[in-house]
């Protein structure tokens, strides 16, 4: 790490910069993102019921040849969110945008490692859910509309998931960490913050609110490996794997986004869901080897 990089890390931005940047990111995400989604929905002639189904998306209820358009309309809202994080970090915090991603050299190999391990853990979790709940996991593959859906998913979902990682495990985690706070506490707080916007998702609505514990566990695990590695590589890979798997491999009833997946998992007992997700999150943190980084023990 160069002297200039170390000096940049040691100089904590003023609190007003963090607050202003956070407000800017959220406003751009909600306003510009919503406008893009509305434009996309209107341009493709979507009905409100098609775009915002009661209780979320369930395989079979959305016409397969329309799934790609609906997914695209939802995902484009994250493009302003992605750009806003980079803009705020560079021009409000006055820091190198690359430092939002890593304190050292960013490694796409590590991203792929996080992606691969999370995919495998997800499939193992699905198998466990199927064993514990016979009939809950069913084969639902339908090739109609598959190609455009896969293209949209592989192009836009990584933007969505990376935007969320830039904000939650990048921007917010760097704000709360000063190199002296307990990493376990920081990770847990970050997991809770990560769960909050997901409370609006159909799968945790009403009596299923307790299912948000899964978001806390997963968010905390991704925050922990980010703190440990001082890099977003693993979290970016794991988050992309989680969402891509959810639309292409194993979908579930009440999803916030449509899917054309090989399997679909119906509602399983909440204790099974939480156990599987918490166990997966813990195993992920244990399996991923710490990346050696020279220099400060501060996360970024």
DSSP 3-state of 263: strand
Cα dist from 160 to 14, 34, 71, 150, whole Å = 28, 14, 11, 15
Whether residue 6 has pLDDT greater than 60? no
Mean pLDDT, the chain, whole residue set: 90
Query: Using alpha carbons only, how large is the chain's radius of gyration in Å?
Result: 19
Q: pTM for this structure?
A: 0.92
Whether residue 220 has pLDDT greater than 60? yes
How many whole angstroms from its chain centre is CA 170? Answer: 12
pLDDT in tens, 234-262: 999 999 999 999 999 999 888 889 999 99
Mean pLDDT, residues 180-189: 93
DSSP 3-state of 34: helix
pLDDT in tens, 255-296: 889 999 999 999 899 999 999 999 999 999 999 976 544 433
In a domain, 294, yes or no: no
In a domain, 66, yes or no: yes
In a domain, 295, yes or no: no
Q: In this structure, are residues 149 and 271 in contact, taking their beta carbons and an 8 Å threshold?
A: no
Q: In this structure, are residues 125 and 117 in contact, taking their beta carbons and an 8 Å threshold?
A: no
Whether residue 10 has pLDDT greater than 60? no
Whether residue 58 has pLDDT greater than 70? yes
Whether residue 214 has pLDDT greater than 50? yes
Q: How confident is the model at residue 65 (pLDDT cuts 50, 70, 90)?
A: confident
Domain that holds residue 32: 3-287
pLDDT in tens, 149-160: 999 999 999 999
Strand partners, 57: 255
pLDDT in tens, 80-132: 999 999 999 999 999 999 999 999 999 999 999 999 999 999 999 999 999 99
Looking at the 3D structure of the chain, how many domains does it have?
Answer: 1
Q: What is the pLDDT of residue 201?
A: 85
* % of residues, the chain, pLDDT over 70: 92
In a domain, 298, yes or no: no
In a domain, 297, yes or no: no
In a domain, 300, yes or no: no
């Amino acid at each position: 790490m160069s002297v200039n990089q170390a000096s940049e890390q040691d100089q904590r931005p003023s609190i007003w910069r963090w607050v202003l940047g956070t407000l800017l990111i959220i406003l751009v995400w909600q306003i510009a993102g919503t406008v893009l989604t509305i434009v996309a929905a209107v341009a493709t002639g979507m009905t409100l019921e098609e775009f915002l189904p009661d209780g979320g998306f369930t395989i079979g209820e959305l016409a397969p040849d329309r799934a790609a358009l609906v997914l695209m309309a939802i995902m484009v809202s994250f493009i302003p969110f992605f750009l806003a994080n980079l803009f705020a970090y560079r021009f409000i915090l006055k820091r190198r945008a690359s430092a939002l991603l890593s304190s050292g050299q960013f490694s796409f190999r590590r991203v792929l490692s996080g992606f691969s391990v999370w995919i495998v853990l997800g499939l193992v979790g699905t198998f466990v859910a199927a064993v514990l709940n016979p009939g809950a996991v069913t084969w639902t593959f339908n090739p109609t509309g598959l190609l455009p859906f896969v293209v949209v998913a592989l192009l836009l979902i990584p933007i969505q998931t990376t935007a969320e990682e830039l904000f939650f495990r990048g921007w917010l985690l760097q704000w709360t960490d000063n190199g002296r706070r307990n990493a376990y506490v920081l990770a847990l707080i970050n997991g809770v913050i990560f769960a909050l916007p997901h409370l609006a998702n159909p799968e945790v609505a009403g009596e299923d609110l307790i299912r948000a514990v899964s978001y806390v566990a997963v968010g905390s695990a991704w925050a922990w490996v980010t703190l440990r590695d001082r890099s977003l590589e693993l979290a970016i890979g794991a988050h992309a794997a989680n969402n891509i798997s959810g639309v292409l491999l194993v979908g579930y009833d009440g999803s916030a986004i449509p899917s054309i997946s090989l399997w679909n998992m119906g509602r399983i007992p909440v204790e099974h869901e939480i156990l599987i997700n918490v166990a997966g999150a813990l195993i992920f943190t244990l399996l991923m080897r710490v990346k050696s980084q020279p220099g400060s023990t501060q996360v970024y």
